[in-house]
Amino acid sequence: MAWRMTGKIVEACSCKMVCRCTLGPAEPDMGWCSAGQLMLIERGNSDGVDLSGTKAALALQLPGDFLGGVELARLYIDEATSSDQRRELEAIFTGQKGGVWGGLRDAIARWLPTEVASIEIEAGEKPSFRVGRIAEGRLERLKTEQGRQATLENAPVAAAFGVETLELARSDGARWEDPDLRRWQAGGFGAVEAFDWSG
Amino acid sequence: MAWKVSGQSVELCSCKMLCPCWLGPDGEPDKGWCGGAFAFDIREGNSDGVDLGGSSVAFAAEWPGNFFGGNGTARLYIDEGAGADQRRELEAIFSGKKGGHLEGLFGAVITKWLPAQVTKVDIQWGDNPSVTVGSVGQARLQPMKDPAGRPTKVQAAAAQAGFQIDSMDLASSKGSRWSDPDMRAWEGDSGTLHRFNWST
């Protein structure tokens, strides 16, 4: 049951900057919140299966804020992964292998079947993502005129995802159009976050 | 024209937590407009030979849109415990008339200054910081923390650079109110706590 992954998350949601759900309890700007999390796994291993360089994405549909729970979620796994990697990634992200995702298991009411798709994630100076034909976005990092990256640290809800620091980036124009989920366009909130998860 | 002030400050406004104006010109305030206040607890300070240590001053303003869009109306409230010399220097500094970054900042975002008022400006710290400005402003803040008890912070937001504030702790100002008869009355939600160390 041992696994560990380190890497970067690129995130966008339907709320304005800053998504109030990260600071919850709060009312999302639309009353509801839909979010996409793109996981770029730089290093990883799960029970002997190397996960380094794999990619996964998560769509979350919430009727209110995060503390009110997630009503529907779907995991997308990059088509470049092997069947062993897909099995391990699905088990980890749906909470079956413990760790931070195991802790979130009760917060997610229903999982749609996992999909395999082409996933592109760029988490550097010009963050961007694409999930097949379903989702795409380009983010603009928020920086001062002197070039300092704007950050949100120790946000109460981000802690549930094991994230300490959100590097804030505007997500205007990003979209998520899964036919089985509420379609949404980004309200402006976006972030790039480092993770170090294990279970 | 030389001055230096350092201490702790409290900010709150009419937006939900976190006020989008902190993060740049692209965010729209939740109400379309923004009413905000700052209170400065000056621990040490000096302005052209006048000691400002232990004085307090508050600032309130309203903007028709995002803070960066300017066209704001503002007023300073200077604590009644300040002497005449201190009042003169505090008004000059905090309205941007004595140079430094506040001159550029307020020059860009404040169009109209209402006459400064002398009143009681009381700032209390501790677990739940509070600010009382005469009968105009009453604020009580609830600092935000993660489950491990670490303060929730924002660093390097665009408006922080304008105020020269490196880091700020988020604190809900729910239940707070500001009702200057010459400005729009508002109730708080967003709030932040900071340290400042400013000079020309």
Instruction: DSSP for chain A, please give it.
Output: --EEEEEEEEEEESSPSSPGGGG-S---TTSSEEEEEEEEEEEEEETTEE-TTEEEEEEEEESS-GGG-BSEEEEEEETTS-HHHHHHHHHHHTTTT-HHHHHTGGGB--BPPPEEE-EEEE-SSS-EEEETTTEEEE-EE-B-TT-PBPEEES-TTGGGGT--EEEEEE-TT-EE--TTS--EE--S-EEEEEEEEE-
pTM: 0.95
For chain A, residues with pLDDT lower than 70 are: none
Write down the H helix ranges in chain B: 84-94, 101-109, 158-163
Best A154, A161, A172 residue to mutate vs chain B (most B CBs within 10 Å) = A154
Chain-chain contact of A153 with B154 (C-beta, under 8 angstroms): yes
Which of B17, B27, B154 is opposite residue A16, by nearest beta carbon? B27
DSSP states of B132-151 as a string?
A: EETTTEEEE-EE-B-TTSPB
Best A21, A33, A144 residue to mutate vs chain B (most B CBs within 10 Å) = A144
* Residues of chain A found within 8 Å of residue B146, distances taken between Cβ atoms: 154-156, 158-159
pLDDT in tens, A119-137: 999 999 999 999 999 999 9
pLDDT digits (tens), chain B, 200 positions? 799 999 999 999 999 999 999 999 998 999 999 999 999 999 999 999 999 999 999 999 999 999 999 999 999 999 999 999 999 999 999 999 999 999 999 999 999 999 999 999 999 999 999 999 999 999 999 999 999 999 999 999 999 999 999 999 999 999 999 999 999 999 999 999 999 999 99
How close A63 gets to chain B, by Cα (Å)? 19
Chain-chain contact of B146 with A156 (C-beta, under 8 angstroms): yes
Helix (H, G, I), strand (E, B) or coil at B167: strand
> What local confidence, expressed as pLDDT, does residue B123 receive?
98
Domain ranges of chain A: 3-198
How many whole angstroms separate alpha carbon B9 and alpha carbon A140?
30
- Reported ipTM: 0.94
